[in-house]
Amino acid sequence: MLLVALLLLPLAAAVPALVAPRYHPSIAATSAAASGAAFLAALGLARANLRGGVPSIGPEEFLRADGLSAVLALVVSGVACVSLWFGAGYLERVRDHGGLDDARLRRFYVLTNLFVATMLLAVTANNVGVMWVAVEGTTIATAFLIGLEHSKAALEASWKYILIGSIGIALAFVGTVLGYFDFVQRVGEAPHALHWTVLARASPGLNGDVLRLAFVFILVGYGTKAGLAPMHTWLPDAHSEAPAPISAMMSGSLLVVALYAVARWKVVVDAGVGPGYAGRMLILFGLASLVLAAVLLIRQSSYKRMLAYSSVEHIGLMCLGLGLGPLGTLAALLHMIGHAASKSLAFLASGNLLEAYGSPRIASVRGVLRVLPWTGALFLVAALALLGLPPFGLFVSEVMLVRAGFLAGRPWLMGAVLALLVAIFLSFLGHLHRMLFGIPPADVRPGERRPFGLLPLGFNVAVLLALGLVVPEPLLRLLRLAAGVLRP
Protein backbone atom coordinates (compact mmCIF):
# COMPACT_ATOMS: atom_id res chain seq x y z
CA MET A 1 0.00 0.00 0.00
CA LEU A 2 2.86 2.38 0.79
CA LEU A 3 4.40 1.73 -2.62
CA VAL A 4 1.12 2.53 -4.34
CA ALA A 5 0.72 5.73 -2.33
CA LEU A 6 4.30 6.76 -3.06
CA LEU A 7 3.75 6.58 -6.82
CA LEU A 8 0.14 7.77 -7.03
CA LEU A 9 0.45 10.86 -4.83
CA PRO A 10 2.50 12.97 -7.30
CA LEU A 11 0.35 11.73 -10.20
CA ALA A 12 -2.80 12.76 -8.35
CA ALA A 13 -1.28 16.18 -7.60
CA ALA A 14 -0.73 16.74 -11.34
CA VAL A 15 -4.46 16.42 -12.10
CA PRO A 16 -5.67 19.79 -10.66
CA ALA A 17 -3.02 21.66 -12.63
CA LEU A 18 -3.96 19.74 -15.77
CA VAL A 19 -7.72 20.29 -15.65
CA ALA A 20 -7.95 23.75 -14.04
CA PRO A 21 -8.91 26.48 -16.53
CA ARG A 22 -6.45 28.89 -14.90
CA TYR A 23 -3.76 28.89 -12.24
CA HIS A 24 -4.83 29.11 -8.61
CA PRO A 25 -2.58 28.99 -5.49
CA SER A 26 -4.40 25.81 -4.42
CA ILE A 27 -2.58 24.00 -7.26
CA ALA A 28 0.76 24.79 -5.65
CA ALA A 29 -0.57 23.87 -2.20
CA THR A 30 -1.85 20.51 -3.50
CA SER A 31 1.52 19.65 -5.06
CA ALA A 32 3.40 20.62 -1.92
CA ALA A 33 1.05 18.59 0.29
CA ALA A 34 1.30 15.56 -2.01
CA SER A 35 5.10 15.70 -1.92
CA GLY A 36 4.99 15.84 1.89
CA ALA A 37 2.69 12.82 1.96
CA ALA A 38 5.03 10.98 -0.44
CA PHE A 39 7.90 11.68 1.95
CA LEU A 40 5.88 10.15 4.79
CA ALA A 41 5.24 7.10 2.57
CA ALA A 42 8.99 6.83 1.93
CA LEU A 43 9.57 6.98 5.68
CA GLY A 44 7.10 4.11 6.00
CA LEU A 45 9.09 2.06 3.47
CA ALA A 46 12.29 2.76 5.40
CA ARG A 47 10.61 1.71 8.65
CA ALA A 48 9.41 -1.55 7.06
CA ASN A 49 12.97 -2.35 6.00
CA LEU A 50 14.31 -1.62 9.47
CA ARG A 51 11.79 -4.12 10.80
CA GLY A 52 13.13 -6.80 8.47
CA GLY A 53 10.59 -6.57 5.65
CA VAL A 54 10.91 -5.60 1.99
CA PRO A 55 7.64 -4.05 0.72
CA SER A 56 6.70 -5.30 -2.74
CA ILE A 57 3.74 -5.46 -5.13
CA GLY A 58 2.88 -7.47 -8.24
CA PRO A 59 4.14 -10.65 -9.90
CA GLU A 60 7.69 -11.57 -8.86
CA GLU A 61 7.80 -8.31 -6.86
CA PHE A 62 7.31 -6.01 -9.87
CA LEU A 63 7.60 -3.02 -7.51
CA ARG A 64 10.04 -3.56 -4.67
CA ALA A 65 11.49 -1.26 -2.03
CA ASP A 66 14.54 -2.78 -0.34
CA GLY A 67 16.91 -0.70 1.78
CA LEU A 68 18.56 0.94 -1.23
CA SER A 69 15.23 1.86 -2.83
CA ALA A 70 13.99 3.25 0.49
CA VAL A 71 17.04 5.54 0.77
CA LEU A 72 16.54 6.85 -2.79
CA ALA A 73 12.79 7.30 -2.22
CA LEU A 74 13.58 9.42 0.84
CA VAL A 75 16.03 11.54 -1.16
CA VAL A 76 13.66 12.07 -4.11
CA SER A 77 10.55 12.82 -2.05
CA GLY A 78 12.43 14.93 0.50
CA VAL A 79 14.03 17.17 -2.13
CA ALA A 80 10.69 17.44 -3.98
CA CYS A 81 8.87 18.39 -0.79
CA VAL A 82 11.25 21.22 0.11
CA SER A 83 11.47 22.45 -3.51
CA LEU A 84 7.69 22.56 -3.98
CA TRP A 85 7.00 24.24 -0.63
CA PHE A 86 9.65 26.86 -1.38
CA GLY A 87 8.67 27.10 -5.05
CA ALA A 88 5.05 28.04 -4.40
CA GLY A 89 5.81 31.62 -3.42
CA TYR A 90 8.96 31.92 -5.52
CA LEU A 91 7.26 31.04 -8.82
CA GLU A 92 4.33 33.34 -8.14
CA ARG A 93 6.81 36.20 -7.68
CA VAL A 94 8.48 35.24 -10.97
CA ARG A 95 5.02 35.36 -12.60
CA ASP A 96 4.28 38.75 -11.07
CA HIS A 97 7.55 40.10 -12.52
CA GLY A 98 6.59 38.90 -16.00
CA GLY A 99 8.84 35.82 -16.15
CA LEU A 100 5.93 33.35 -16.35
CA ASP A 101 2.27 33.40 -17.27
CA ASP A 102 -0.51 31.33 -15.71
CA ALA A 103 -0.44 28.71 -18.47
CA ARG A 104 3.26 28.04 -17.96
CA LEU A 105 2.80 28.01 -14.20
CA ARG A 106 0.15 25.29 -14.55
CA ARG A 107 2.46 23.42 -16.91
CA PHE A 108 5.20 23.61 -14.29
CA TYR A 109 3.10 21.76 -11.72
CA VAL A 110 1.91 19.11 -14.20
CA LEU A 111 5.44 18.33 -15.40
CA THR A 112 7.09 18.61 -11.99
CA ASN A 113 4.73 16.08 -10.45
CA LEU A 114 5.30 13.74 -13.42
CA PHE A 115 9.04 14.26 -12.93
CA VAL A 116 8.80 13.24 -9.28
CA ALA A 117 6.61 10.23 -10.13
CA THR A 118 9.04 8.94 -12.76
CA MET A 119 12.00 9.26 -10.39
CA LEU A 120 10.10 7.35 -7.69
CA LEU A 121 9.16 4.66 -10.20
CA ALA A 122 12.78 4.35 -11.31
CA VAL A 123 13.98 3.61 -7.76
CA THR A 124 11.17 1.20 -6.85
CA ALA A 125 10.84 -0.80 -10.09
CA ASN A 126 12.31 -4.28 -9.77
CA ASN A 127 12.29 -4.61 -13.56
CA VAL A 128 15.39 -3.05 -15.17
CA GLY A 129 13.40 -2.36 -18.35
CA VAL A 130 10.79 -0.38 -16.44
CA MET A 131 13.62 1.41 -14.63
CA TRP A 132 15.05 2.42 -18.01
CA VAL A 133 11.63 3.68 -19.19
CA ALA A 134 11.21 5.69 -15.97
CA VAL A 135 14.63 7.32 -16.35
CA GLU A 136 13.72 8.20 -19.94
CA GLY A 137 10.47 9.64 -18.59
CA THR A 138 12.44 12.05 -16.40
CA THR A 139 14.12 13.36 -19.57
CA ILE A 140 10.80 14.12 -21.23
CA ALA A 141 9.40 15.95 -18.19
CA THR A 142 12.50 17.98 -17.34
CA ALA A 143 13.25 19.00 -20.94
CA PHE A 144 10.11 21.16 -20.98
CA LEU A 145 10.81 22.45 -17.47
CA ILE A 146 14.32 23.65 -18.36
CA GLY A 147 12.89 25.83 -21.13
CA LEU A 148 9.91 26.99 -19.10
CA GLU A 149 10.83 30.69 -19.23
CA HIS A 150 11.22 30.61 -23.05
CA SER A 151 14.49 32.55 -23.09
CA LYS A 152 16.97 31.77 -25.86
CA ALA A 153 19.53 30.36 -23.42
CA ALA A 154 16.90 28.19 -21.70
CA LEU A 155 15.63 26.76 -24.99
CA GLU A 156 19.19 26.02 -26.13
CA ALA A 157 19.90 24.28 -22.82
CA SER A 158 16.70 22.27 -23.17
CA TRP A 159 17.56 21.02 -26.66
CA LYS A 160 21.12 20.22 -25.61
CA TYR A 161 19.77 18.24 -22.68
CA ILE A 162 17.35 16.32 -24.92
CA LEU A 163 20.03 15.48 -27.47
CA ILE A 164 22.78 14.37 -25.08
CA GLY A 165 20.39 12.74 -22.62
CA SER A 166 18.72 10.75 -25.41
CA ILE A 167 22.06 9.47 -26.65
CA GLY A 168 22.98 8.46 -23.13
CA ILE A 169 19.71 6.67 -22.45
CA ALA A 170 20.02 4.88 -25.82
CA LEU A 171 23.43 3.56 -24.76
CA ALA A 172 21.95 2.41 -21.46
CA PHE A 173 19.27 0.58 -23.48
CA VAL A 174 21.96 -1.23 -25.48
CA GLY A 175 23.61 -2.36 -22.25
CA THR A 176 20.27 -3.55 -20.86
CA VAL A 177 19.53 -5.53 -24.03
CA LEU A 178 23.00 -7.13 -23.97
CA GLY A 179 22.47 -8.24 -20.38
CA TYR A 180 19.03 -9.64 -21.18
CA PHE A 181 20.09 -11.61 -24.25
CA ASP A 182 23.06 -13.06 -22.41
CA PHE A 183 20.64 -14.20 -19.69
CA VAL A 184 18.34 -15.83 -22.27
CA GLN A 185 21.27 -17.54 -24.02
CA ARG A 186 22.75 -18.93 -20.81
CA VAL A 187 19.66 -19.60 -18.69
CA GLY A 188 16.96 -19.91 -21.33
CA GLU A 189 13.55 -18.30 -21.50
CA ALA A 190 12.40 -17.51 -17.98
CA PRO A 191 9.56 -15.46 -16.57
CA HIS A 192 10.51 -12.02 -15.29
CA ALA A 193 14.02 -12.27 -16.77
CA LEU A 194 14.39 -8.47 -16.64
CA HIS A 195 13.69 -8.33 -12.91
CA TRP A 196 16.75 -7.18 -11.06
CA THR A 197 16.36 -9.90 -8.41
CA VAL A 198 16.24 -12.61 -11.13
CA LEU A 199 19.28 -11.21 -12.95
CA ALA A 200 21.25 -10.94 -9.71
CA ARG A 201 20.57 -14.59 -8.86
CA ALA A 202 21.57 -15.77 -12.34
CA SER A 203 24.58 -13.47 -12.83
CA PRO A 204 27.29 -15.96 -11.68
CA GLY A 205 26.39 -18.14 -14.68
CA LEU A 206 26.40 -15.36 -17.28
CA ASN A 207 29.11 -14.66 -19.86
CA GLY A 208 31.76 -12.44 -18.27
CA ASP A 209 32.82 -10.76 -21.51
CA VAL A 210 29.24 -9.84 -22.39
CA LEU A 211 28.66 -8.48 -18.88
CA ARG A 212 31.78 -6.32 -19.12
CA LEU A 213 30.65 -4.87 -22.44
CA ALA A 214 27.11 -4.35 -21.16
CA PHE A 215 28.42 -2.47 -18.12
CA VAL A 216 30.43 -0.11 -20.33
CA PHE A 217 27.25 0.86 -22.19
CA ILE A 218 25.28 1.11 -18.93
CA LEU A 219 27.91 3.22 -17.15
CA VAL A 220 28.35 5.61 -20.08
CA GLY A 221 24.59 5.73 -20.72
CA TYR A 222 23.31 6.29 -17.22
CA GLY A 223 26.52 8.17 -16.38
CA THR A 224 25.51 10.76 -19.00
CA LYS A 225 22.29 11.29 -17.09
CA ALA A 226 24.21 11.40 -13.79
CA GLY A 227 26.53 14.12 -15.09
CA LEU A 228 29.77 12.14 -14.97
CA ALA A 229 32.70 13.55 -16.96
CA PRO A 230 33.21 13.58 -19.88
CA MET A 231 29.46 13.05 -20.55
CA HIS A 232 28.52 16.01 -18.34
CA THR A 233 28.24 18.70 -21.03
CA TRP A 234 24.46 19.13 -20.79
CA LEU A 235 24.51 19.64 -17.03
CA PRO A 236 25.92 23.18 -16.53
CA ASP A 237 23.56 24.67 -19.13
CA ALA A 238 20.46 22.82 -17.91
CA HIS A 239 21.02 23.48 -14.21
CA SER A 240 21.85 27.13 -14.74
CA GLU A 241 18.82 27.86 -16.95
CA ALA A 242 16.09 25.84 -15.19
CA PRO A 243 13.86 27.51 -12.55
CA ALA A 244 15.38 27.23 -9.07
CA PRO A 245 13.06 24.44 -7.80
CA ILE A 246 13.84 22.31 -10.89
CA SER A 247 17.59 22.93 -10.57
CA ALA A 248 17.30 21.79 -6.95
CA MET A 249 15.50 18.56 -7.91
CA MET A 250 17.71 17.80 -10.89
CA SER A 251 20.91 18.23 -8.93
CA GLY A 252 19.71 16.88 -5.59
CA SER A 253 17.80 13.82 -6.79
CA LEU A 254 17.82 13.19 -10.57
CA LEU A 255 21.59 12.71 -10.77
CA VAL A 256 21.60 10.13 -7.98
CA VAL A 257 18.63 8.29 -9.53
CA ALA A 258 20.77 7.73 -12.63
CA LEU A 259 23.69 6.65 -10.44
CA TYR A 260 21.31 4.27 -8.64
CA ALA A 261 20.72 2.49 -11.97
CA VAL A 262 24.48 2.05 -12.40
CA ALA A 263 24.79 0.71 -8.85
CA ARG A 264 22.02 -1.86 -9.45
CA TRP A 265 23.81 -3.17 -12.53
CA LYS A 266 27.15 -3.16 -10.71
CA VAL A 267 25.81 -5.86 -8.38
CA VAL A 268 25.03 -8.09 -11.38
CA VAL A 269 28.45 -7.47 -12.94
CA ASP A 270 30.29 -8.00 -9.63
CA ALA A 271 28.59 -11.36 -9.15
CA GLY A 272 29.40 -12.38 -12.72
CA VAL A 273 33.01 -11.21 -13.18
CA GLY A 274 34.19 -10.19 -9.70
CA PRO A 275 34.17 -6.80 -7.98
CA GLY A 276 37.36 -5.42 -9.54
CA TYR A 277 36.15 -4.56 -13.04
CA ALA A 278 33.12 -2.38 -12.25
CA GLY A 279 34.96 -0.80 -9.33
CA ARG A 280 37.87 0.26 -11.54
CA MET A 281 35.50 1.74 -14.11
CA LEU A 282 33.66 3.75 -11.44
CA ILE A 283 36.92 5.00 -9.95
CA LEU A 284 38.14 6.10 -13.39
CA PHE A 285 35.00 8.12 -14.19
CA GLY A 286 34.80 9.46 -10.63
CA LEU A 287 38.37 10.75 -10.76
CA ALA A 288 37.79 12.29 -14.21
CA SER A 289 34.77 14.14 -12.81
CA LEU A 290 36.84 15.56 -9.94
CA VAL A 291 39.57 16.72 -12.34
CA LEU A 292 37.05 18.44 -14.61
CA ALA A 293 35.28 20.15 -11.70
CA ALA A 294 38.58 21.38 -10.25
CA VAL A 295 39.66 22.88 -13.59
CA LEU A 296 36.36 24.52 -14.52
CA LEU A 297 35.52 25.94 -11.10
CA ILE A 298 38.69 28.04 -11.07
CA ARG A 299 37.50 30.52 -13.71
CA GLN A 300 33.74 30.17 -13.31
CA SER A 301 31.73 33.35 -13.86
CA SER A 302 28.15 32.19 -13.04
CA TYR A 303 27.09 31.08 -9.58
CA LYS A 304 24.46 28.65 -10.92
CA ARG A 305 27.04 27.07 -13.23
CA MET A 306 29.41 26.99 -10.26
CA LEU A 307 26.83 24.92 -8.37
CA ALA A 308 26.35 22.70 -11.44
CA TYR A 309 30.06 21.90 -11.66
CA SER A 310 29.99 21.23 -7.93
CA SER A 311 27.39 18.54 -8.73
CA VAL A 312 29.85 16.94 -11.16
CA GLU A 313 32.40 16.90 -8.33
CA HIS A 314 30.08 15.25 -5.83
CA ILE A 315 28.73 12.67 -8.27
CA GLY A 316 32.38 11.83 -8.92
CA LEU A 317 32.95 11.34 -5.20
CA MET A 318 29.93 9.01 -5.00
CA CYS A 319 31.33 6.99 -7.92
CA LEU A 320 34.66 6.71 -6.14
CA GLY A 321 32.89 5.47 -3.02
CA LEU A 322 30.95 2.82 -4.94
CA GLY A 323 34.25 1.55 -6.36
CA LEU A 324 36.07 1.32 -3.01
CA GLY A 325 34.36 -1.61 -1.33
CA PRO A 326 31.80 -1.83 1.52
CA LEU A 327 33.02 1.18 3.55
CA GLY A 328 33.23 3.29 0.39
CA THR A 329 29.70 2.25 -0.57
CA LEU A 330 28.42 3.30 2.86
CA ALA A 331 30.25 6.63 2.47
CA ALA A 332 28.73 7.11 -1.00
CA LEU A 333 25.19 6.55 0.31
CA LEU A 334 25.71 8.97 3.20
CA HIS A 335 27.23 11.45 0.76
CA MET A 336 24.18 11.06 -1.46
CA ILE A 337 21.88 12.29 1.31
CA GLY A 338 24.17 15.14 2.33
CA HIS A 339 24.59 16.28 -1.25
CA ALA A 340 20.83 16.23 -1.82
CA ALA A 341 20.25 18.43 1.23
CA SER A 342 23.07 20.89 0.53
CA LYS A 343 22.72 21.21 -3.25
CA SER A 344 18.94 21.68 -3.19
CA LEU A 345 19.44 24.30 -0.45
CA ALA A 346 22.04 26.11 -2.56
CA PHE A 347 19.97 26.13 -5.76
CA LEU A 348 16.80 27.28 -3.99
CA ALA A 349 18.70 30.10 -2.29
CA SER A 350 20.23 31.01 -5.66
CA GLY A 351 16.69 31.63 -6.93
CA ASN A 352 16.36 34.47 -4.44
CA LEU A 353 19.78 35.80 -5.49
CA LEU A 354 18.72 35.86 -9.13
CA GLU A 355 15.47 37.61 -8.22
CA ALA A 356 17.21 40.29 -6.16
CA TYR A 357 20.26 40.96 -8.35
CA GLY A 358 18.76 40.16 -11.75
CA SER A 359 21.93 38.44 -12.91
CA PRO A 360 23.49 34.97 -12.59
CA ARG A 361 27.01 36.40 -12.89
CA ILE A 362 29.26 36.22 -9.85
CA ALA A 363 30.74 39.63 -10.71
CA SER A 364 27.29 41.24 -10.43
CA VAL A 365 26.52 39.80 -6.98
CA ARG A 366 28.13 41.56 -4.04
CA GLY A 367 27.16 42.09 -0.41
CA VAL A 368 24.58 39.28 -0.27
CA LEU A 369 24.72 39.17 3.53
CA ARG A 370 23.70 42.85 3.58
CA VAL A 371 21.05 42.67 0.87
CA LEU A 372 19.49 39.28 1.76
CA PRO A 373 20.74 38.35 5.23
CA TRP A 374 18.65 35.16 5.63
CA THR A 375 19.13 33.95 2.07
CA GLY A 376 22.82 34.78 2.31
CA ALA A 377 23.17 32.81 5.54
CA LEU A 378 21.43 29.79 4.01
CA PHE A 379 23.57 30.01 0.87
CA LEU A 380 26.66 30.16 3.08
CA VAL A 381 25.58 27.06 5.02
CA ALA A 382 24.99 25.18 1.76
CA ALA A 383 28.36 26.25 0.34
CA LEU A 384 30.29 25.31 3.50
CA ALA A 385 28.55 21.93 3.52
CA LEU A 386 29.44 21.37 -0.17
CA LEU A 387 33.06 22.24 0.64
CA GLY A 388 33.09 19.36 3.13
CA LEU A 389 33.55 21.43 6.27
CA PRO A 390 32.32 20.37 9.74
CA PRO A 391 29.82 20.28 11.37
CA PHE A 392 27.94 19.27 8.20
CA GLY A 393 27.23 15.79 6.88
CA LEU A 394 29.45 15.89 3.79
CA PHE A 395 32.50 16.24 6.05
CA VAL A 396 31.69 12.87 7.64
CA SER A 397 31.05 11.11 4.33
CA GLU A 398 34.23 12.50 2.73
CA VAL A 399 36.34 11.39 5.69
CA MET A 400 34.76 7.92 5.43
CA LEU A 401 35.47 7.84 1.69
CA VAL A 402 39.13 8.79 2.11
CA ARG A 403 39.51 6.20 4.87
CA ALA A 404 37.93 3.58 2.60
CA GLY A 405 40.49 4.43 -0.10
CA PHE A 406 43.45 4.02 2.24
CA LEU A 407 42.05 0.77 3.65
CA ALA A 408 41.62 -0.49 0.07
CA GLY A 409 45.34 0.06 -0.51
CA ARG A 410 45.01 3.07 -2.81
CA PRO A 411 47.09 5.82 -1.15
CA TRP A 412 48.10 7.46 -4.45
CA LEU A 413 44.48 7.68 -5.54
CA MET A 414 43.49 9.26 -2.24
CA GLY A 415 46.39 11.69 -2.49
CA ALA A 416 45.14 12.82 -5.89
CA VAL A 417 41.56 13.08 -4.58
CA LEU A 418 42.65 15.21 -1.63
CA ALA A 419 44.70 17.51 -3.88
CA LEU A 420 41.72 17.99 -6.20
CA LEU A 421 39.41 18.67 -3.25
CA VAL A 422 41.81 21.36 -2.01
CA ALA A 423 41.81 23.02 -5.46
CA ILE A 424 38.00 22.92 -5.57
CA PHE A 425 37.82 24.25 -2.01
CA LEU A 426 40.00 27.28 -2.80
CA SER A 427 38.16 28.13 -6.04
CA PHE A 428 34.69 27.78 -4.54
CA LEU A 429 35.64 29.72 -1.41
CA GLY A 430 37.03 32.59 -3.48
CA HIS A 431 33.81 32.91 -5.47
CA LEU A 432 31.74 32.64 -2.30
CA HIS A 433 33.69 35.39 -0.54
CA ARG A 434 33.22 37.80 -3.44
CA MET A 435 29.48 37.18 -3.48
CA LEU A 436 28.70 37.38 0.23
CA PHE A 437 30.80 40.37 1.21
CA GLY A 438 31.63 43.76 -0.21
CA ILE A 439 29.44 46.71 -1.18
CA PRO A 440 26.15 45.82 -2.89
CA PRO A 441 25.34 47.40 -6.28
CA ALA A 442 23.49 50.69 -5.95
CA ASP A 443 20.45 49.49 -7.91
CA VAL A 444 19.78 46.47 -5.67
CA ARG A 445 17.08 46.96 -3.05
CA PRO A 446 17.97 45.42 0.36
CA GLY A 447 15.50 43.20 2.20
CA GLU A 448 14.10 39.70 1.88
CA ARG A 449 11.17 39.59 -0.53
CA ARG A 450 9.35 36.81 1.33
CA PRO A 451 11.25 35.76 4.49
CA PHE A 452 8.65 33.21 5.61
CA GLY A 453 9.12 31.41 2.30
CA LEU A 454 12.59 30.41 3.52
CA LEU A 455 11.18 28.29 6.37
CA PRO A 456 11.14 25.01 4.36
CA LEU A 457 14.89 25.36 3.86
CA GLY A 458 15.37 24.91 7.59
CA PHE A 459 14.72 21.20 6.96
CA ASN A 460 17.86 21.02 4.79
CA VAL A 461 19.96 22.73 7.46
CA ALA A 462 18.64 20.32 10.11
CA VAL A 463 19.52 17.31 7.92
CA LEU A 464 23.05 18.60 7.28
CA LEU A 465 23.66 19.23 10.98
CA ALA A 466 22.19 15.87 12.00
CA LEU A 467 24.43 14.03 9.54
CA GLY A 468 27.48 15.99 10.66
CA LEU A 469 27.05 15.91 14.43
CA VAL A 470 25.58 12.46 14.98
CA VAL A 471 24.12 10.23 12.29
CA PRO A 472 20.75 9.04 13.68
CA GLU A 473 20.94 5.35 14.56
CA PRO A 474 17.89 4.32 12.43
CA LEU A 475 19.36 6.10 9.41
CA LEU A 476 22.72 4.40 9.93
CA ARG A 477 20.99 1.02 10.06
CA LEU A 478 19.07 1.84 6.89
CA LEU A 479 22.29 2.88 5.13
CA ARG A 480 23.92 -0.39 6.16
CA LEU A 481 20.95 -2.29 4.74
CA ALA A 482 21.27 -0.31 1.50
CA ALA A 483 25.03 -0.98 1.33
CA GLY A 484 24.28 -4.67 1.88
CA VAL A 485 22.01 -4.65 -1.17
CA LEU A 486 24.99 -3.53 -3.26
CA ARG A 487 27.13 -6.47 -2.20
CA PRO A 488 26.83 -9.37 -4.68
pLDDT, mean of each 10-residue run, the chain (488 residues): 91 91 87 94 95 86 92 96 89 73 87 95 93 93 85 86 92 91 74 80 83 94 93 88 91 95 93 88 95 91 92 96 93 96 95 88 90 93 94 94 94 94 93 89 82 88 93 93 89
Across the strands, what pairs with 125? Answer: 63
User: Using H for helix, E for strand and C for coil, what is the string for the chain?
Assistant: CHHHHHHHHHHHHHHHHHHCCCCCHHHHHHHHHHHHHHHHHHHHHHHHHHCCCCCEECCCCCEECCHHHHHHHHHHHHHHHHHHHHHHHHHHHHHHCCCCCHHHHHHHHHHHHHHHHHHHHHHHECEHHHHHHHHHHHHHHHHHHHCCCCCHHHHHHHHHHHHHHHHHHHHHHHHHHHHHHHHHHHHCCCCCCCEHHHHHHHHHHCCHHHHHHHHHHHHHHHHHHHCCCCCCCCHHHHHHHCCHHHHHHHHHHHHHHHHHHHHHHHHHHHHHHCHHHHHHHHHHHHHHHHHHHHHHHHCCCEHHHHHHHHHHHHHHHHHHHHCCHHHHHHHHHHHHHHHHHHHHHHHHHHHHHHHHHCCCEHHHCCCHHHHCHHHHHHHHHHHHHHCCCCCCHHHHHHHHHHHHHHHCCCHHHHHHHHHHHHHHHHHHHHHHHHHHCCCCCCCCCCCCCCHHHHCCHHHHHHHHHHHHHCCCHHHHHHHHHHHHHCCC
Q: What is the pLDDT of residue 275?
A: 81
| φ, ψ (nearest 5 deg) of residue 188 | 95, 175
CA 320, 326, 329, 335 torsion: positive or negative? Answer: negative
The Cα 182–Cα 275 span in angstroms is 19
Closest CA to 66 of 54, 52, 57: 54
- Give the list of residues 6+ apart from residue 98 with CB closer than 8 angstroms, or none: none
The Cα 286–Cα 304 span in angstroms is 22
Across the strands, what pairs with 63? Answer: 57, 125
Q: What is the pLDDT of residue 148?
A: 82
- Give the list of residues 6+ apart from residue 91 with CB closer than 8 angstroms, or none: 28, 100, 105, 108, 243, 245
Q: What is the pLDDT of residue 99?
A: 66
> Are the beta carbons of 28 and 91 closer than 8 angstroms?
yes
What is the number of other CB atoms lying within 10 angstroms of the CB of residue 22? Answer: 9
Task: Please tell me the pTM assigned to this model.
Answer: 0.95
The Cα 15–Cα 109 span in angstroms is 9
The Cα 208–Cα 455 span in angstroms is 52
Q: What is the pLDDT of residue 423?
A: 94
The Cα 157–Cα 236 span in angstroms is 9
Length of the chain: 488
Q: What is the pLDDT of residue 191?
A: 66
